[in-house]
Amino acid sequence: MADFPDDSACADWLFQQRWPDGFVCPSCKHEKGWRLKTKAWTCECCECGKQTSVTAGTILHGTHLPLRIWFIAAHLAATHSNGISALQLQAKAGIGSYKAAWLLLHKLRKAMVNPDRALLAGMIQVDESTITFRTKNDPVAGGQGRSHEGKIMIAGAVECIKGGQSGRIRLTQISDYTGETLKGFVEQMTAGQSTIITDGLSSYQGMEGRKHIPKVVGSMAAHVLLPSIHRVFANLKTLGLGVYHGFREKHVQAYLDEFTFRWNRRRSYRSAFTTLLGIGLRIEPMDYWTLIGRPSPNRTLPAAG
């Protein structure tokens, strides 16, 4: 974070990411603008006079937090190998309230799915698993005999690279193990001509446009037959128990996306950081109410000027 000593350095970096060849007005596409001295990190178009903040239309849109807090948070979220909780983020980034830290973390998670991401390709192990979740009233650090735990079904895919290495992954929450669901997962996540290795579950029979290798060897355990995807599942479960003290059902897909983002960039933290803020520059801004899936109480009021 030495590159970003203050908000001004952060704004310069965002400006550079957004307009690498110089300012372009988002409204009229004119290529000349002035950086305003009176308004922080804002350009005014020389042609139409529209003012554009460097954060406008990004996940940082309308933020009340200093830019540097965003950068610290993105850095932590991208580099913490086991993920980070809102409570940890609040402490480490010096954020005033838990709610602000939680919101910030969830906005960053939204930026973890690149809308333009490429399909997995080559040799791919695919399998299903279940993860446990806790309901709101469960004890955070429950011991033996928890009765309120639920199970969530997930499907996972991982590229197998030569030498037993694992490549990129995809993880999705699913509602059942039917052929429609599992073949749909494979079709959505993998490129045509890929080779799909499974444990031979009948739901995978008849995948279109892909070669299928069902590894059925008597009663041999799945983690022996499909070691790569089972390493992914094991890591995911460790994350759920360790950092989050159990996943919360409502946010499972967000956790899966975060895990996937980190896994796919585990060998280059620097690129994880820039991708995280860079992707954020292209996705829709999102407010607290959208994130928690409830109507905003402010929407019934007339819009402020």
Please report how close the Cβ of residue 281 comes to Zn ion at its closest, in angstroms: 19
Instruction: Tell me the Cα Rg of the chain.
Output: 22
Please report how close the Cβ of residue 80 comes to Zn ion at its closest, in angstroms: 40
Beta bridge partners of 273: none
Please report how close the Cβ of residue 28 comes to Zn ion at its closest, in angstroms: 3
Minimum CB distance to Zn ion smaller for 23 or for 244:
23
Please report how close the Cβ of residue 27 comes to Zn ion at its closest, in angstroms: 5
Minimum CB distance to Zn ion smaller for 50 or for 231:
50
Minimum CB distance to Zn ion smaller for 44 or for 138:
44
Q: Which of 231, 260, 241 shows the shortest CA–CA distance to 129?
A: 231
Minimum CB distance to Zn ion smaller for 28 or for 161:
28
Minimum CB distance to Zn ion smaller for 42 or for 190:
42
- Amino acid identity, position 175: S
Residues 6+ apart with CB under 8 A from 277: 14, 17, 70, 71, 74, 111
Dihedral, 204, 205, 209, 212 alpha carbons, nearest 10: 80
Tokens of 140: 């955070």
Please report how close the Cβ of residue 278 comes to Zn ion at its closest, in angstroms: 24
Q: Which of 72, 38, 69 shows the shortest CA–CA distance to 53?
A: 38
CA distance 129 to 182: 12
Q: Provide the mask over 8-47, with x wherever binding to Zn ion is found by CB under 5 A and - wherever it is not.
A: -----------------x-xx-x--------------x-x
Tokens of 267: 């060998």
Minimum CB distance to Zn ion smaller for 46 or for 152:
46
In the chain, where does DSSP find H-type helix? 7-18, 67-79, 86-93, 98-110, 179-189, 222-225, 227-242, 252-264, 269-280, 288-292
Please report how close the Cβ of residue 54 comes to Zn ion at its closest, in angstroms: 15
- DSSP per residue over 163-228, as a string? GGEEEEEEEEEES---HHHHHHHHHHHB-TT-EEEE---GGGTT-TTSEEEE---TT--HHHHSHH
Q: Which of 118, 117, 108, 116 shows the shortest CA–CA distance to 276?
A: 108
Please report how close the Cβ of residue 259 comes to Zn ion at its closest, in angstroms: 41
CA distance 164 to 173: 26
Minimum CB distance to Zn ion smaller for 35 or for 251:
35
Please report how close the Cβ of residue 38 comes to Zn ion at its closest, in angstroms: 19
Interacting residues with Zn ion between 42 and 101 (CB under 5 A): 45, 47-48, 50
Minimum CB distance to Zn ion smaller for 26 or for 227:
26
Interface with Zn ion (CB under 5 A): 25, 27-28, 30, 45, 47-48, 50
